């Protein structure tokens, strides 16, 4: 499967949309001719949101990998576009920015009470681990129940990361969105929200996610007695 290009992801989802939304109106105003400020604002907004949308569709099509997070990303862009173009009250931008990670967090939490908690799907799978060897070692050591408890804890950590994201999203959106949708000021606020989401939201939640992954791998080595390199799938070893 083709790997996602992290550089292009950052360029098309964060950098270019932020630059266009924040400085686009000032840059294009002198070249606008007979176009009104509102028409310029709408054009800039359409260009900015089309970039992450186009990249998301391209990435999903090229990698042939449809997952809930990619789909949520596209839905988020479409909702932002709808709010901006239909001049919907910007309170809904705050609701949208808060609701998406909150819904994902609830979904992760619900998964903890099923046979396939999210940590098991994301980490304990054949793409990363030699499941046959790991499962055999867990059964031989009679430690499967203990491992399942640690896997459940890692799922709770993943749910916590989305809750933290929802809280930070709300605080950021509440302090940024003050202007009516469809205005140049609204475009700039969307741009600032996009730019600030990386350091303010992504970094703290990523730290929690990395800790959850560490907990799972630590539990596997502790309960199986296998070394880290022995846990990896043949697919990873051959890379």
Please give the mean pLDDT across all residues of the chain. Answer: 83
CA distance linking residue 103 with residue 162, whole number of Å: 9
Residues in the chain, overall count:
239
> Mean pLDDT per 10-residue run, the chain (239 residues)?
65 84 74 69 86 82 66 82 89 93 89 82 76 88 91 90 93 94 90 88 87 89 85 66
pLDDT at 123: 75
pLDDT at 67: 58
CB atoms within 10 A of CB 16: 17
pLDDT at 143: 92
User: b/e map of 159-168 (b: 16 or more CB within 10 Å)?
Assistant: bbbbbbbbeb
Q: What is the pLDDT of residues 51-74, one digit of tens each?
A: 888 888 887 777 666 556 667 777
pLDDT at 98: 94
- The encoded tokens of residue 62 equal 């090229």
Judge whether 191 and 18 are in contact, CB under 8 Å. yes
């Amino acid at each position: 499967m083709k790997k996602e290009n992290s550089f292009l992801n950052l360029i098309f989802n964060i950098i270019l949309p932020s630059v266009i939304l924040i400085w686009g109106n000032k840059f294009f105003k002198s070249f606008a001719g007979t176009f009104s400020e509102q028409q310029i604002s709408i054009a800039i907004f359409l260009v900015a949101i089309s970039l992450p949308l186009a990249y998301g569709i391209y990435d999903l099509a090229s990698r042939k990998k449809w997952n809930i997070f990619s789909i949520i990303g596209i839905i988020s862009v479409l909702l932002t576009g709808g709010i901006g173009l239909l001049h919907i009250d910007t309170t809904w931008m705050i609701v949208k920015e808060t609701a998406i990670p909150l819904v994902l967090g609830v979904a992760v939490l619900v998964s903890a009470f099923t046979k396939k908690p999210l940590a098991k799907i994301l980490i304990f799978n054949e793409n990363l681990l030699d499941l046959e060897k790991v499962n055999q070692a867990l059964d031989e050591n009679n430690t499967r129940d203990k491992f399942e408890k640690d896997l459940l804890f890692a799922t709770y950590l993943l749910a916590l990361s989305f809750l933290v994201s929802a809280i930070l999203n709300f605080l950021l959106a509440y302090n940024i969105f003050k202007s009516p949708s469809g205005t140049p000021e609204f475009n700039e606020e969307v741009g600032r929200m996009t730019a600030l989401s990386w350091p303010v939201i992504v970094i703290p939640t990523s730290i929690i996610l990395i800790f959850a992954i560490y907990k799972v791998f630590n539990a596997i080595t502790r309960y199986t007695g296998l070394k880290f390199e022995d846990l990896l799938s043949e697919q990873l070893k051959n890379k």
